[in-house]
Amino acid sequence: MKLSRLRAIPSVDKVLQALGDTGLPRPIVLDLVRRELQVLRTRKTIPDLEAVVARIRAVVFDVRTSRIQPVINGTGILVHTNFGRAPLGMDVIAAMSAVASNYSNLEYSLTRGARGGRAAYLEQGLAVLCGAEAATVVNNNAAALVLILRHFCRAAVNEVVISRGELVQIGGGFRIPDVLESSGAKLREVGTTNQTSLEDYARVITRRTALILKVHRSNFFMDGFVSSPLTEDIAALARKTRKRRIVFVEDLGSGAMFDTATVAGLEHEPTPAEVLGHGVSLVCFSGDKLLGGPQAGIIAGSRTLVAALKHEPLFRALRCDKLILSALEATVDAYLRGESGVAILEMLRVTNEDLRVRAERMIAALDGLPLAARVGTGPAQVGGGTLPRSVIPSLTVDLVHRTLKPQELATRLREQAIPLIGYIARGTLKLDLRTIFPRQDQDVLTAIRAASTL
Ligand SMILES: *Cc1c(COP(=O)(O)O)cnc(C)c1O
Which distant-in-sequence residues (6+ apart) come within 8 Å of 323 by Cβ? 96, 99, 100, 294
In this prediction, residue 6 carries a pLDDT of 63
Share above pLDDT 90 across residues of the chain, in percent, rounded to a whole number = 81
When pLDDT is cut at 50, 70 and 90, the band that residue 388 belongs to is confident
Q: How far is the CA of 153 from the centre of ligand 1 (A)?
A: 20
Assess whether pLDDT exceeds 80 at residue 338.
yes
Residues 6+ apart with CB under 8 A from 46: 3, 4, 5, 7, 8, 9, 40, 52
| Cα–Cα distance measured from residue 316 to residue 312, given in angstroms and rounded to the nearest whole number | 8
Whether residue 86 has its Cβ less than 6 Å from ligand 1: no
Torsion, Cα of 330, 335, 337, 342 (10° steps): 70
Check residues 144 and 41 and name the one with the higher pLDDT. Answer: 144
* Residue 439, Cβ density class (10 Å: 0-12 exposed, 13-18 middle, ≥19 buried): exposed
Answer whether 215's CB lies under 8 Å from 175's CB.
Answer: no
Report pLDDT for 5. Answer: 56
**Residue 1 pLDDT > 60, yes or no?**
no
Strands 392-401 and 371-380: antiparallel
What value does the mean pLDDT take over residues 246-263?
Answer: 92
What's the confidence (pLDDT) of residue 201? 94
Q: CA-to-CA distance for 265 and 259, rounded, in angstroms?
A: 12
Point out the ligand 1 atom lying closest to the alpha carbon of residue 384: 1
Q: How far is CA 186 from the centre of its chain?
A: 29
Q: Is a pLDDT exceeding 80 seen at residue 4?
A: no
183 Cα to the center of ligand 1, angstroms: 16
Ligand 1: residue of 218, 221, 250 to mutate (most ligand atoms within 8 A of CB) is 218
CA distance 301 to 343: 27
Range of weakest confidence among 34-38, 190-194, 409-413: 190-194
For residue 101, what pLDDT is reported? Answer: 97
Kindly report which listed range (42-51, 200-209, 307-316) carries the lowest average pLDDT score.
42-51
d(C-alpha 197, C-alpha 190), whole Å = 9
> pLDDT for 157-168, tens place per residue?
999 999 999 888
| Residue 385 Cβ < 6 Å to ligand 1 | yes
27: left (phi over 0), alpha (psi -120 to 50) or beta: alpha
pLDDT > 60? residue 143: yes
Distance CA 341, CA 89 (A): 5
Q: How far apart are CA 390 and CA 382, in angstroms?
A: 8
Buried/exposed code over 417-438 (b: 16+ C-beta within 10 A; e: otherwise) = eeebbbbeeeebbbbbbbbbbe
The confidence band for 2, taking pLDDT boundaries of 50, 70 and 90, is low
Average pLDDT, the chain: 93
Distance in Å, CA 384 to ligand 1 centroid: 9
d(C-alpha 328, C-alpha 330), whole Å: 5
The arithmetic mean of pLDDT across residues 132-149, rounded, is 96
- Residue 339: how many CA atoms within 13 Å on its side-chain side? 12
Residues 173, 171, 144, 137, Cα dihedral to 10° = 140
Residues linked to residue 375 through DSSP beta bridges, in sequence order: 397
If you measure from the C-alpha of residue 137 to the centroid of ligand 1, how many angstroms do you get, rounded to a whole number?
Answer: 14
Cα 392 to middle of ligand 1, angstroms:
22
Q: How far, in Å, CA of 364 to CA of 361, rounded? A: 5
Look at ligand 1, atom 3, and give the residue with the nearest C-alpha.
253
In sequence order, the 6+-apart residues with CB closer than 8 A to the CB of 268 are 259, 260, 261
What is the model's pLDDT at position 242? 65
Least confident segment among 126-140, 311-325, 373-387: 373-387
Exposure pattern of 32-45 as b/e (b: 16+ CB <10 Å)? Answer: bbeebbeeeeeeee
Positive or negative, the CA dihedral 236, 238, 243, 247 is negative
pLDDT of residue 179: 87
**First and final C-alpha spacing in the chain:** 25
Mean pLDDT value of segment 125-154: 96
252 CA closest ligand 1 atom index: 13
- What is the rounded average pLDDT of the residues 327-355? 93
Residue 349 has pLDDT above 80, yes or no: yes
User: Does 251 contact ligand 1 (Cβ within 6 A)?
Assistant: yes
* Res 220: pLDDT: 75
User: Residue 278: is its pLDDT beyond 60?
Assistant: yes
Q: Name 282's bridge partners.
A: 249, 301
Would you state the pLDDT for residue 225?
82
**In this structure, are strands 159-163 and 209-215 parallel, antiparallel, or unpaired?**
parallel
Instruction: Decide: 297 in ligand 1 pocket, CB within 6 A.
Output: yes
The string of pLDDT tens digits covering residues 294-335 is: 999 999 999 999 999 999 999 999 999 999 999 999 999 999
Q: Is the minimum distance from the CB of 170 to ligand 1 under 6 angstroms?
A: yes
3-class DSSP assignment, residue 279:
coil
**3-class secondary-structure state, position 396:** strand
Mutate to test the pocket of ligand 1, among 162, 166, 249, 251 (most ligand atoms within 8 A of CB): 251
Residue 146 confidence (pLDDT) above 90: yes
158 or 245: whose pLDDT is higher? 158
How many angstroms separate the alpha carbon of residue 253 from the centre of ligand 1?
Answer: 5
Closest atom of ligand 1 to CA, residue 386: 15
Average pLDDT over residues 131-146: 96
Q: How far apart are CA 350 and CA 359, in angstroms?
A: 13
pTM exceeds cut of 0.85: yes
Instruction: Look at residue 299 in the predicted model and tell me its pLDDT.
Output: 98
In this predicted structure, the answer to whether residue 3 has a pLDDT above a threshold of 70 is no
Provide the pLDDT for residue 46: 87
User: Best substitution site from 286, 290, 382 to test ligand 1's pocket, by max atoms within 8 Å of Cβ?
Assistant: 286
Torsion 375-378-383-387 (CA) sign: positive
Is 7 a residue whose pLDDT tops 80? no
